[in-house]
A and B are shown apart, each in its own frame.
Chain A
């Protein structure tokens, strides 16, 4: 006698067949076969010409220079991939030079660079169309008046470099993967997840953070109400400071040496910790690392 199938069994068979159909459809789509041609995204549209993601097509690039004459006080650059160089000059205008790259000319059209002044801020960033899947790196070279009041540069992947600005320009520099360098800055927030930091600071507030990277910094001046907070997880912290540094010092390294070249009134000294006062201890200066050494020495 043949047994009747239960509803759960029928459902199981139907869903099983549906799952099989989905797997076959996925396979056909991902291999780029004909019945799914119309569904295919931009990646496969160029697959045949060898310029898709993973293909062996040549990189196409587009270079452009734009001069912005509108007076602004602040600059904000947001980039996804590629280096950003900002350099101060003695003109009042801002020059934005960029090179954008992508695999194939068509992919190059999938994103554009927006340069727009909003209020007293000039904003520069790439804008991607919804179908953009194959964008490549954009490298920025900006020339800005060295007397701007503030600059902010954020990037996901790429080195950030700032040179030749006045020493009181507040800077906020951030990248996820890449190193950061600034040769002169006022108040400074500098952060990289994977990459070293190098800076020269003269302001009230300094915050430097990295997860994996060495921090090399010069503190040329520090306001009385100011603070210094330097932190990395895997890497050393090497700071040198002006001779008149007046700070409450807190240095911590989990596995590394700690050294201080300033005359210090020590309040606590342990293998992985050094706390004390330089001068009257007017400004807190904290440096931490998990794996690496910490040194604080006078500027030469």
Chain B
């Protein structure tokens, strides 16, 4: 029962992270689209200044993406957990 609860908690946590990321990336892309439109309507063909916030904020979004999809419950983490559990089993 305890193992099932633990799994449920972990699953909830991972799902929560993924949803957080989804919200984050949608807002990011929408804001960047608006800035790009403003940039190109107000000064067509000129310097693309909106890429500065796209870069700065984008680094945060990418970090969020990596933590939500690659490291939380990803194969690497799973393997590490399994390894730790095996080690604990050997000690017992």
- Which residues of A approach B to under 8 Å, CB–CB? 8-9, 11-13, 15-16, 18-20, 22-23, 25-27, 29-30, 39-44, 130-133
Contact = CB atoms under 8 A, between A and B. Distances in A.
Interface of A (DSSP majority class): helix
A19 B29 contact: yes
Given A16-B61, A23-B61, A133-B46, 14 more contacts: A9-B18, A18-B29, A19-B58, A22-B32, A22-B58, A23-B58, A26-B54, A26-B58, A27-B55, A29-B51, A43-B47, A130-B44, A131-B45, A133-B47
B62 A19 contact: yes
B60 to A, nearest CB: 10
Interface string B55-89: 10011011001001100000000000000000000
9 contacts: A12-B69, A13-B69, A15-B26, A20-B62, A23-B54, A130-B43, A131-B43, A133-B46, A133-B47
Contacts of A40: 47
Give the 8 A-B CB pairs with smallest separation, nearest first.
A41-B47, A23-B58, A16-B65, A26-B55, A26-B51, A15-B25, A131-B46, A26-B54
Contacts of B18: 8-9, 12
Nearest to B22: A12
Contact of B22 (A8, A41, A133): A8
Interface residues of B, number: 27
Nearest to B44: A130
B19 A15 contact: no
A42 B49 CA distance: 12
B39 to A, nearest CB: 10
Contacts of B69: 9, 12-13, 16
A41 B46 contact: yes
Nearest to A16: B65
A29 to B, nearest CB: 5
A27 B59 CA distance: 10
Contacts of A42: 46-47
A20 B59 CA distance: 8
B43 A12 contact: no
A29 B47 CA distance: 10
Nearest to A134: B47
